[in-house]
């Protein structure tokens, strides 16, 4: 076997897995009421954008070859039902229209679809009188959000709340409003992970009740359950399914890839990114090598594309 490892050219020739810039989706944050980008301390190199700076970032990412953005909003005001999430004048809808005007169809625009950034309690859905997430009431809100995002120019809506029946409710709402071409990227296997902390800082979310979402997100102990979730979402009309987080769930990505024929995505989440950034800052890993090895591992497990805060860094490395 060493004969095929002897030179870089030989290794490239026989490589089983390749990471390309087209495999990268950049998560971006846009915040209402600011006039300059705000750095996110827990995510070095990542900022909360203004609409203007987001448009500039999108143009730069496209020039690097990045294929898509997933947009998260930070509203100026929150309420119990997350009204800003479906407001045509809400920050994500404003940003989507500006992005579409600026880049046309040169970038795929994905809108994260959840209520947690927009509610005053930080949960992913509407709460009942007992303070628990009301699944069915939440589905109605998700349909309203999906229609608003599609009307603003989203190519994909990406429901991330892990409500039962969310994909079917969103598909029905989109089709009923004349948005049959808007696709659904389902967070089909989203785990109640310890690695989301930096993201919550990025969107200024504090979760009521101690931050416990284990009642509706998947238990990290369960792998086979993910396949059931994926099949349910596909039966309801999902176009792409996603596993989140990525690095700590490579076995789940591989199992999903073996089980379905649709595209499979993976989300390399904020905590996974922050750990790599911290290790590189301390000098205990080589940043460039770690970036490419991380993405290669996720692709090798079976992801067709990767949502990652490494998108810009990786694109710059791959473009050399």
Q: Which of 266, 270, 265 is nearest to 309 (CA)?
A: 270
The low-confidence residues of the chain, meaning pLDDT below 50, are none
Q: What is the pLDDT of residue 231?
A: 97
Q: What is the pLDDT of residue 208?
A: 58
With contact defined as beta carbons under 8 Å apart, do 49 and 312 qualify? no
With CA atoms as reference, report the closest residue to 81 among 171, 168, 145, 32: 145
pLDDT digits over 223-262, tens only? Answer: 999 999 999 999 999 999 999 999 999 999 999 999 999 9
Joined together, the tokens standing for residue 229 give 């979730």
**Cis status of the peptide bond prior to 96, with omega within 30 of 0:** no
Over the stretch 27-51, which tens digit does the pLDDT of each residue have? 999 999 999 999 999 999 999 999 9
The pLDDT value given to residue 3 = 87
Q: Give pLDDT, residue 245.
A: 97
Task: Kindly list the domain boundaries of the chain, sorted by start residue.
Answer: 13-241
Phi, psi torsion values for 106, nearest 5 degrees:
-75, -20
Q: What is the pLDDT of residue 130?
A: 83
Phi first, then psi, for residue 26 (nearest 5°) are: -95, 120
Among 3.20.20.70, 3.30.70.100, 3.40.50.300, 3.90.1580.10, name the CATH number for the domain at 13-241. 3.20.20.70
| pLDDT at residue 209 in the model | 60
* 3-state secondary structure (DSSP) of residue 262: coil
Of 287, 312, 183, 197, whose CA–CA distance to 245 is shortest? 197
Residues tagged active-site = 190, 244
**What are the helix and strand counts (H, E) for the chain?**
11, 10
Q: Residue 190 pairs with which residues in a beta bridge?
A: 244
């Amino acid at each position: 076997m060493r004969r095929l490892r002897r030179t870089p050219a030989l290794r490239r020739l026989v490589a089983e897995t390749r990471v390309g810039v087209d495999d990268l989706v950049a998560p971006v944050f846009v915040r209402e009421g600011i006039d300059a980008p705000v750095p996110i301390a827990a995510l070095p190199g990542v900022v909360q954008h203004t609409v203007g700076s987001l448009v500039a970032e999108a143009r730069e990412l496209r020039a690097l070859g990045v294929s898509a953005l997933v947009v998260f909003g930070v509203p100026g005001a929150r309420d119990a039902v997350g009204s800003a999430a479906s407001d045509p004048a809400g920050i994500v809808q404003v940003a989507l229209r500006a992005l579409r005007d600026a880049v046309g169809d040169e970038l795929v625009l994905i809108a994260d679809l959840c209520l947690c950034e927009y509610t005053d309690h930080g949960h992913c859905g509407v709460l009942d009188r007992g303070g628990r997430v009301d699944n069915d009431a939440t589905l109605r809100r998700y349909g309203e959000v999906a229609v608003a995002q599609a009307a603003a120019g989203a190519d994909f809506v990406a429901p991330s709340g892990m409500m039962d029946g969310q994909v079917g409710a969103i598909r029905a709402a989109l089709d009923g409003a004349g948005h049959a071409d808007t696709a659904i990227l389902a967070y089909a296997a989203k785990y109640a992970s310890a690695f989301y902390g930096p993201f919550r800082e990025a969107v200024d979310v504090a979760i009521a009740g101690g931050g416990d979402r284990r009642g509706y997100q998947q238990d990290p102990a369960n792998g086979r359950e993910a396949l059931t979730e994926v099949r349910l979402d596909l039966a309801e009309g999902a176009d792409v399914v996603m596993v989140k987080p990525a690095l700590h769930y490579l076995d789940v990505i591989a199992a999903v890839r073996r089980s379905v024929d649709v595209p499979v995505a993976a989300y390399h989440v904020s905590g996974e990114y922050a750990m790599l950034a911290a290790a590189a800052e301390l000098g205990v890993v080589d940043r460039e090598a770690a970036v490419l090895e991380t993405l290669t591992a996720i692709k090798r497990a079976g992801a067709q594309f990767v949502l990652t805060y490494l998108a810009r860094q990786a694109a710059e490395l791959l473009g050399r």
